[in-house]
Structure formats: structure tokens, C-alpha cells
Structure 1
Amino acid sequence: MQKDHLPTRRRALLAGAVSLGAAGVAAAFVPGTGERTAPAPPPAAGARPARRPLRPSEYRLRPLTGYGPPRTPHGRTPVRREPLLRVPEHGRTMVLSFDDGPDPRYTPHILDTLARYEVRAMFFVCGEMAAGHRDLVARMADEGHVVGNHTWTHPLLTRLRRARIRSEMERTSDIVEKICGERPAWFRAPYGAWNHAVFRLGAELGMESLAWTVDTLDWTEPGTRTIVERVADGAAPGVVVLSHDAGGDRSQTVRALRTYLPGLLDSGYHLTVPRRQYV
């Protein structure tokens, strides 16, 4: 698979900048020749550009509600009383999510497996881990995955003062923006511990709160087979699966993904990422 074919936020931003800069250029260079060629004539009035059929892999890579980079959500982020536990059901669609990373021992293997099957996932990163492994966060974004906010140091937010909660969230959004070019649109509280202050601060920072439907409990190291069985037993339209790519020995998580991901695809599930404005 070639990464250049994947629709990613960073490439969309870069492509937009390039197209604006090229708007005033009357001719283009032919790659490798140095010669100029006249720009292609516009299509005839009323003519529609020809469409090509999507490959199955391209369908997998589409967000739940369309193809291309997520759009900016309209209006303010709602202040919720509880986090979202699943995503809208669009056929046999599921979301894979990974918390606590990135970790250079495990995250690259998870990314490799996702790339092999052309599947996008959500990574809720801790700011201190992201700051130490910027290349992995950049790779997540480059390969079309959603980079979410999981606080800076993974504390129990419900025991912290409001100022500290804001700092944990804001610092992480700042580092993600420096690496990826935009701030995270999704937030997941460590340990799944939300309260009103957490919901309100997340909304003020423009982030939607997403929990999970199926917890693999991979952090307990229950064994690769057990993790696979938990995902298979919990598979259903709209399900969000929680796993971890850091915070301990995640070799079982890596091996389990290699088994259950092709199994889900063979069963007709589409593994992709949600879009904010349709949640």
C-alpha cells in the first residue's frame, strides 16, 4: 500500500496550500523534463467528471460518513453528561482505538498491521509520550488515523482541581497541534473517569468525549487468545474497541490485532473512524 493514496488531514492541509499558491501560475512543469506545458482545458459546460469505482480497500479507509479528511464541526462542542460509548451505525462498521501511546516498542507494529489491511483507527495519546516520540504521532496522522487527547500524564482527573485538568488537556492538544498541524477533536479521560469539569473543559477546548463499547482489558495481559475472543464476542455495528499501545507490555495486543483484524474484515465489518459533525 502506498501512503500517498490515503486521504489524511496533513496532506489535505498541504494540498490546500499548494493549490492556493499555484492558482496564479499560467503553466506547469512536466515532472522530470523541466519543460512547460499548457494547463489542461476545463471540462465542457454541464459535463461531469468521470467516476472510477472504489476499490474495497478505499471503502475501508472512508470515515463513517464520507471519504476524505474530517471537516470542522459546526457550532460549539456540546457539554455532555456522559461520554459517547459507540458511533452511529452505518452498516457493519466498527472503530478500533488505542490508548496511552505512542510507545516505540509496540506502536510501530500496530501501525504496520493497520497499514497492511488499509484500516484507520483512533489513537488517544498521552502528551508526554507524544513529545518524546513525535515521529510516531506524525506517522499516525500521515497514515490517516485520528490522533486524540488522553491528557499529558494520564492522571485520575476526577481528583484534580480545574486548573490542573485544563493544563493536562491543553498541553496535550498543544503538542499534537505542533506535530500534526491541528488540534485534537476527540478526548478520552484516563481510566474512563469523567465529571462535569472534565466534560466542560473538553468542550471548551473543542473536543468531543469518546469512551468505548468493548474493553479488551489487554492491560491485564490476559493472553493473546483472550483478547481476540473479547473482540470477536463484542463485535457489532457501532462498537468502539478499546486497546492500549503503551503503559506496559503490549506484545499480546500486537499479536491479537494481527489475528482479529483480518477476521473482522472477513466477517464483513468495516473498521474506520468517525466524523465529529455526524456524532
Structure 2
Amino acid sequence: MKYIKFMTLSLLALMLAACGETESETKTPASAPVQQEVEEEEKVEEEASEEVIEEESPASATADPLYALNKANWSFKPIADAPSKVVLLTIDDAPDKRSLEMAKTLKALNAPAIFFINGHFVDTDEEKAVLKEIYDMGFAIGNHTQTHANLKSLSEEQQRVEIMKINETIEEITGEKPKFFRAPFGVNTDFSKALVKEQGMLLMNWTYGYDWEAKYQDADTLTDIMVNSEYLTEGANLLMHDRVWTAAALKGIVEGLRGKGYEMIDPATIQGVTID
């Protein structure tokens, strides 16, 4: 299929050092070479061309899943007769400064999303209350590690702490274990993959995102690129962050996507997870 060939060849232009610690930090542009871990996975995925995740995680699967993860480009394919013109919205580095505002915007728009949590943003009672409020609004909560470290630079025991500590914190705050995992910079290891699977989480990266690039750090340009990117395709997995400009652009992004006929995937309908 032309789409699959395009997305497979485009993966090297998409996976990048995406998440950061501050709003002012300079980011690697979207056209940067993919990291080594992703390159190694791509060799396998090129042979398969398109690998859709049909297996269930150790946790029981959603009763009637509608979408399956396609590891070839981290997008989602419809199951049976589910609508195909959809995207998944994700917010990384939550809940830093703008996550609650972004959750309220999405709630008003009836647009589901996953908020991926860093442990250093839920240190205080106030920060924990913000996470609980986002969860209580109905948004899915994902694991984005404790300190946003590159997992390949850590020992296996350090990786375990990075993944398990924030898992435990999220469960303490929300009463529910995370169902999704996204590694900082999109970099996973064999150990992290095994641990994520053991913990019943669905490992994912992303299809495209731009809000870490200097030229897209205002609402208008970010809205335009997120809605009109050449990488916007059916089932795309959209990466955004807790940033001032992303919060300002979010309403326009959702409305722009809907104006093109796209709707947002409810994380509860993704195969391999159960949303309580």
C-alpha cells in the first residue's frame, strides 16, 4: 500500500528527541535522524512492512476494542467497522504548568486524550491534586518515567525505578495503574519493553509532533502544522507537550482536525488495555 510504504520510509524523519524539561529548551527538529533504538526496530518492521498489534497485554483487554496499534508507524488501525478517519491525541510532560488548562480545553471540546506523566511533576500535594483532577475528568493517564531519563543510559535496576516509581505514584493518586507507556525521546530497551509488558501497559511512541521546534512555538504556526502536516493520515498518533504555546493552540488543533473530518480516538477503545 502506498500509505504503508510512505509511513515506513517516513519513520526515520519522525522519531526524535521530543520531550524536554523546560519550555525554553531547544529541541531536535522533526527531520533529525531517528535514534539507534528506533533504527534497530525499523529493520525488523521493514521486513514485516506492517505489524499490527493483535495480542493482548497481561491485563484483560477492553471488551470491544476498536483500534489496534501498528508498530510500523505507531498509528492505529480500525478493527472491523470502526471509523478509520481518526487520530489519537497525547500530551507528554504532564502535569507541568499547562496540563490542567489543556485538559479543560479538551473536555469542553469532548476530545479524549492520553496525558503522559513525569514523576518530577507530581512531587507536591498541589501537583498531585492536578493529576487527580485530570484523571477525574475522564482522561487516560500514561507513564512517561520518573525523571525523563534516556533509558538506554541507565542500568536495568535504574530503568525499573524510572518505570515503577511513577507507576506507583499514579496508582496512589488515581487508584488505577497506568495503561500506556511512552519512553522519553522514544528510546526503549529490551528490559524496558519486557517490564512494560509485564506491567500490562501498551508501549507506544508517536507518528508526528512539532511543538518542541523553535519555529512552531506559537499558537498559529503550531496549529497550522499539526492540522496540515504531510504526516496527518488516518490513525495518526499525535505528540504534544505541556507547553504555553501548545495550550494556546490546542482548541484550534482539535477544531482544525475535525474540520478535515478527523475525530479523536478514545483510549479506552484501544486493543490491549482496560480503562476502569
- Of 115, 119, 122, the residue aligned with 2:107 is 115
Shift of 1:237: 1.4
- Of 84, 90, 100, the residue aligned with 1:91 is 84
Shift of 1:106: 1.1
Give me the whole-angstrom Cα distance separating, in 2, the residues matched to 1:200 and 1:152: 18
The answer to whether residue 160 in structure 2 is matched with residue 172 in structure 1 is no
Shift of 1:205: 1.8
Give me the whole-angstrom Cα distance separating, in 1, the residues matched to 2:232 and 2:130: 28
- On the 8 A contact 2:219/2:246 being kept in 1, the answer is yes
Q: Percent identity?
A: 28
The answer to whether residue 248 in structure 2 is matched with residue 259 in structure 1 is no
- SS at structure 2 position matched to 1:215: coil
Structure 1 spans left out of the alignment, 5+ residues: 1-70, 75-79
- SS at structure 2 position matched to 1:217: coil
Give me the whole-angstrom Cα distance separating, in 1, the residues matched to 2:180 and 2:215: 27
Give the partner amino acid of 2:255. P
- Of 262, 266, 277, the residue aligned with 2:271 is 277
The Cα offsets for residues 54-76 of structure 1, whole Å up to 9 and x where unpaired, read as xxxxxxxxxxxxxxxxx8328xx
Give me the whole-angstrom Cα distance separating, in 1, the residues matched to 2:215 and 2:122: 24
Shift of 1:226: 2.6
Give me the whole-angstrom Cα distance separating, in 1, the residues matched to 2:114 and 2:72: 16
The Cα offsets for residues 206-240 of structure 1, whole Å up to 9 and x where unpaired, read as 21111110112336462323311221123321011
TM-score w.r.t. the length of structure 1 is: 0.65
Q: Which residue of structure 2 lines up, in the alignment, with residue 72 of structure 1? A: 60
Provide the aligned C-alpha RMSD in A: 2.3
Give me the whole-angstrom Cα distance separating, in 2, the residues matched to 1:235 and 1:179: 35
- SS at structure 2 position matched to 1:123: strand
TM-score w.r.t. the length of structure 2 is: 0.66
- On the 8 A contact 2:100/2:134 being kept in 1, the answer is no
Give the partner amino acid of 2:224. E
Residues 101 and 263 of structure 1, relative CA distance in 2, 3 Å threshold: same
- On the 8 A contact 1:202/1:208 being kept in 2, the answer is yes
Give the partner amino acid of 1:266. G
The Cα offsets for residues 40-89 of structure 1, whole Å up to 9 and x where unpaired, read as xxxxxxxxxxxxxxxxxxxxxxxxxxxxxxx8328xxxxx9x68711223
Give the partner amino acid of 1:129. F
Aligned residues: 198
Shift of 1:193: 0.7
Give me the whole-angstrom Cα distance separating, in 2, the residues matched to 1:93 and 1:169: 29
Q: Which residue of structure 1 lines up, in the alignment, with residue 201 of structure 2? A: 207
Structure 2 spans left out of the alignment, 5+ residues: 1-58, 63-68
Q: Which residue of structure 2 lines up, in the alignment, with residue 152 of structure 1? A: 146
Give the partner amino acid of 2:105. T
- On the 8 A contact 2:202/2:272 being kept in 1, the answer is no
Larger radius of gyration: 1
Shift of 1:91: 2.1
- On the 8 A contact 1:186/1:210 being kept in 2, the answer is yes
Residues 278 and 165 of structure 1, relative CA distance in 2, 3 Å threshold: closer
1:1-279 pair list within 5 angstroms: 72-73=60-61, 85-89=74-78, 90-103=83-96, 105-132=97-124, 133-218=127-212, 220=214, 222=216, 223-232=218-227, 233=229, 234-245=231-242, 250-274=243-267, 275-277=269-271
